[in-house]
Amino acid sequence: MIVYLNSMPPVVMPYGAAPAYCFPLTEYTVYVLFVICLMHAVRKGIPYVTYLIGGLLFGLLLEFVDVYFLKGYTYGRFNIMIGAPPLDIPFWIGVGWGVIIYSSRLYTERLGFSILVAAAIDSLLALNIDLTMDVTAYRLHMWDWGWVSLQKDPLNSQWFGIPYNNYFGWLMVVFSYSWFSRLFEKRIRGNTLVQLLYYIGVMLLSIFISEIILFSYFKYISDALQSIGVLSLTRLLTFLCFIIAIVVYRWNRRTKPVASLLSLADWIVPAWFHGYFFVWFFIAGFNHENPWMTIFAILNLIIGIMLHYGYFMRRTRQA
């Protein structure tokens, strides 16, 4: 992969294709995570099943919108692809969205936060996972951000080759789906088959509203802000501060936390995403590329461990 920067020498993406086993290992492991989450959701009831399935469908739809309409990026070749090349989407990406959104909700639900705070923390937990995943997966050629066509350095543009808009999208995607789903669910009582259609309606309505917001932002609002000098990094930091402010301001407005032993579904998703892509970061030699990138990768992993290990120990003691 070569990029020409005006009269400068070509900037080369120094990493070749990932080992042959990397893509199928990644893809099928995510399917296993989905089965674990689905088994947990079935035991918990209809609201959890529809929330998990809705996260999967939401992930596939937003990826389709990004790839087909917004032309934000393209994907590498996996075994199960949806659509026609080169604008097709790996099925496991939608599944990944589903399990990340689902596991984040399990985390916040046990702590007894209000709907708004829970949605905000869900989005921060998902961002923590993506900060570990994206830098590594991009260098493994799982997806391509199109820096070549933009004539920019593929390794150092924005956040080590990852657009700031990507992280803005992660925050907005998880926050909007989590918030709308919980908000609409509040009006439903019961957990029987009679309520199934209501929960399906909640799922579809949450997806629809969230997609409209996301598409409108990236299709129209983002360009308008860019034209008046509000850069993508500024937008990301502003929205991130907004999310953090929600958490800080309403932190103490909690109900009684749920005291029960954690299941496999509570921790396996963040543990796998952090561990798997962090290990690949070093196996593939990406740690030699940029010392700052390596420092941030280690710090982000430490933050993830502190968040989930501390949460795990607290729930275990309470149970």
Report which of 69, 51, 47 is spatially closest to residue 59, judged by C-alpha positions. Answer: 51
**Residue whose token pair is 């709907």:** 115
What are the C-alpha distances in Å from 156 to residues 12, 148, 255, 290?
11, 12, 44, 9
Q: Residue 149 burial (CB < 10 Å; 0-12/13-18/19+)?
A: exposed
Looking at per-residue confidence, does 63 or 148 come out higher? Answer: 63
Q: Kindly state the average pLDDT of the residues 275-284.
A: 96
Angle at 270 between CA 232 and CA 161, to 5 degrees: 30
pLDDT-derived band of residue 3, with 50, 70 and 90 as boundaries?
A: very low
Residue in the structure block whose two tokens are 């708004």: 116
Query: In the predicted model, is pLDDT for residue 179 greater than 70?
Result: yes
d(CA 37, CA 246): 28
Which residue segment(s) compose the domain that 17 sits in?
2-318
Rounded to two decimals, the pTM is 0.89
Q: CB within 8 A of 310, min separation 6: which ones? A: none
Task: State the amino acid at position 45 in one-letter form.
Answer: G
Total number of domains in the chain: 1
Average pLDDT rounded to a whole number, residues 55-81? 86
Confidence band of 222 (pLDDT split at 50, 70, 90): confident
The mean per-residue pLDDT over the stretch 101-109 comes to 92
What's the pLDDT at 278?
Answer: 96
pLDDT at 47 over 60: yes
Output the pLDDT for position 192.
65
H or E, element range at 171 = helix 164-185
- Mean pLDDT, the chain, rounded, equals 85
Give 223 or 191, the one with higher predicted confidence.
223
pLDDT of residue 219 exceeding 50 = yes
Higher pLDDT, 72 or 266: 266
Task: Name, of 101-105, 152-156, 181-185, the range with top average pLDDT.
Answer: 101-105
Q: According to the model, what pLDDT value does residue 190 have?
A: 58
Percent of the chain with pLDDT over 90: 49
Range of lowest pLDDT (95-109, 230-244, 301-315)? 301-315
How far is residue 208's CA from residue 252's CA, in Å, rounded to a whole number? Answer: 32
For 12-21, 161-170, 175-184, which range has the lowest pLDDT when averaged over its residues?
A: 12-21
Q: What pLDDT does 257 receive?
A: 59
Residue 267 has pLDDT above 50, yes or no: yes
Q: Over pLDDT 70: what percentage of the chain?
A: 87
CA distances from 130 to 3, 80, 96, 100, 202 (A): 25, 22, 11, 10, 26
Confidence of residue 1 (pLDDT cuts 50, 70, 90): very low
